[in-house]
């Protein structure tokens, strides 16, 4: 249980693998005066992830995890989370699946953003599949992480209309814009219950 009193803030670790636009957006929110959280750690499995540059820019601790040996990778992750007193893990484009064991150890404290209207289109290439199926709507979801892929309890979801002249690129852009709206809101909702 994390009790927030006065100026205390929730310590968040953001896990990335690529661009890190969600990470950048969360950092911006964390820097607002009234923010209840700080980004204390950035973890990436990919040493070339563009998002790691935000660690240097904003002087945030970063760790690149070598996933050649899965068990070692997760041991290092757990150690880093403990060492940095992390209260909440936010996955943002992290392309590795966490083990049931790690999820259990951080039960209810790992959330993820996914570019679809879950429970529809779990996994990859969500927009491609939605368009192929002539869906009228696409969207994004922030959800708790459990041991089944993209299946944990939904925290916030945003629905976006797909128009006839939309293409994958347009949809990706529209959805990402909404991701940046809902992820900070989801964090605000979640940290009350940590």
Catalytic entry in 114, 127, 143, 180: 114
The gap between the terminal CA atoms of the chain, to the nearest Å, is 5
CB nearer to ligand GRF: give 51 or 152: 51
The span of 13-21, 32-40, 151-159, 162-170 binding ligand GRF (CB under 6 A) equals 13-21
CB nearer to ligand GRF: give 109 or 114: 114
How far, in Å, CA of 146 to CA of 18, rounded? 22
Applying CB under 6 A, which of residues 39, 92, 155, 171 lies at the interface with ligand GRF?
A: 92
How far, in Å, CA of 37 to CA of 107, rounded? 19
Report the b/e string of 99-125 with b at 16+ CB within 10 A.
Answer: eeebbeebeebbbbbbbbbbebbeeee
Do 114 and 150 touch, CB atoms closer than 8 A?
Answer: yes
Is residue 113 close enough to count as binding ligand GRF by CB under 6 A? Answer: yes
Q: State whether residue 114 is helix, strand or coil.
A: strand
Is residue 21 close enough to count as binding ligand GRF by CB under 6 A? Answer: yes
Q: Is 114 a catalytic residue?
A: yes
Is residue 114 close enough to count as binding ligand GRF by CB under 6 A? Answer: yes
> Where does this chain bind ligand GRF (CB under 6 A)?
16, 18-22, 51, 92-93, 113-115, 140, 176, 179
């Amino acid at each position: 249980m994390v009790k927030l009193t006065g100026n205390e803030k929730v310590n968040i670790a953001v896990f990335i693998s690529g661009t890190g636009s969600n990470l950048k957006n969360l950092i911006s929110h964390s820097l607002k005066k009234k923010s209840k959280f700080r980004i204390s750690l950035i973890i990436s499995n990919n040493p070339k992830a563009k998002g790691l540059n935000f660690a240097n820019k904003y002087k945030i601790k970063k760790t690149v995890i070598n996933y050649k040996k899965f068990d070692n990778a997760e041991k290092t992750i757990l150690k880093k989370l403990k060492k940095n007193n992390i209260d909440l893990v936010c996955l943002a484009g992290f392309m590795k699946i966490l083990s049931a064991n790690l999820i259990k150890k951080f039960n209810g404290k790992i959330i993820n953003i996914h570019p679809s209207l879950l429970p529809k289109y779990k996994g990859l290439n969500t927009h491609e599949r939605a368009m192929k199926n002539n869906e009228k709507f696409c969207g994004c979801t922030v959800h708790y992480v459990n041991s089944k892929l993209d299946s944990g309890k939904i925290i916030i979801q945003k629905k976006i209309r797909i128009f006839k002249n939309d293409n994958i690129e347009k949809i990706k852009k529209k959805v990402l814009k909404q991701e940046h709206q809902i992820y900070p809101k989801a964090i605000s909702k979640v940290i009350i219950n940590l």
